[in-house]
Amino acid sequence: MTFTRITPVITAGVTMLVVFFSILYLSGTIKSQSLTIGMAAIGRIPTAPPIEKFLIPEGKFGRHRMARMEPKYITIHSTQNYSATADAYAHARALANGALKSRSNSLGYLTWHFSVDEKSIYQSLPVIERGEHADYNGPGNRNSIGIEMCENSGNSRELTIERTAELAAWLMTRYNIPISNVVPHQHWKRIRPGDQRNLGHKNCPHFLMDNGKPGPKWQAFLEQIESKL
Ligand SMILES: [Zn+2]
């Protein structure tokens, strides 16, 4: 058989196979692994990063009110705690033990939702529960998920930022939060309830601010998050 005579046979055979597998795929008989991988590769489905739950005990410390919250923002912080042992687990443990008291806020404790370091993410509060990490009684506490990036010495800042970006991308997708609502702690004005004193905007997370404000470094972080969406 010559090449010119065999070509139509091959073409017909390939066409029949394509039709056959298309029918199987569309009917749901087969699931395309490559399609799933392909969608993840173009970033439509951010995968949930591994999260260790170490919640503050219900009814205790910063959870004695357990106020419900609709998460509309994600607020990014850094701990400014440079002790070698101050990793994500240590912060989660301190929150769960009631070790982070705060005299000036209405809860009497500092609380936030996630602590992140180079190797892990710990969750201290359900994301539908209000924390005390941003702006006393302002919208940063009433409607935002608080994420603390650890700065313990020896911890990789680069990996911590990467893990935080993964967490933020997943939370955005899960709770329908736009990138415009991913903000640094610096975004929120802090009015202290006791004396109504305006404490201004905190330079936090300091290593993602430029001259104390969101600039090129913050923009690069947002782009890092968007690359995972
Ligand atoms: Zn902060």
Q: 200 with 102: CB under 8 angstroms?
A: no
- Is the pLDDT at 24 greater than 50? The verdict is no
Q: Ligand 1 center to residue 20 CA distance, Å?
A: 57
131 and 23 co-located in one domain:
no
Task: Say how many Å lie between the CA of residue 68 and the centre of ligand 1.
Answer: 21
| CA dihedral angle for residue 172, residue 44, residue 53, residue 92, rounded to 10 degrees | -50
- Report the C-alpha gap between 186 and 208 in whole angstroms: 10
pLDDT in the model for residue 20: 52
Q: What is the pTM of this model?
A: 0.81
Give residue 38's pLDDT: 38
pLDDT in tens, 148-207: 999 999 999 999 999 999 999 999 999 999 999 999 999 999 998 888 899 999 999 999
Number of domains observed in the structure of the chain: 2
Both 161 and 63 in a single domain?
yes
For residues 182 and 146, membership in a common domain is answered with: yes
Specify whether 114 is located in the same domain as 20. Answer: no
CA of 205 to the centre of ligand 1 (A): 6
Query: How far does the centroid of ligand 1 lie from the alpha carbon of residue 46, in Å?
Result: 26
Structural domain for 199, as ranges: 52-226
Say whether pLDDT at 17 is over 60: no
Task: Indicate whether 27 and 89 sit together in one domain.
Answer: no
149: CA distance to ligand 1 center in Å? 9
Give the model's confidence band at 13: pLDDT under 50 very low, under 70 low, under 90 confident, else very high. low
Same domain, 26 and 66: no
Q: Are residues 15 and 56 in the same domain?
A: no
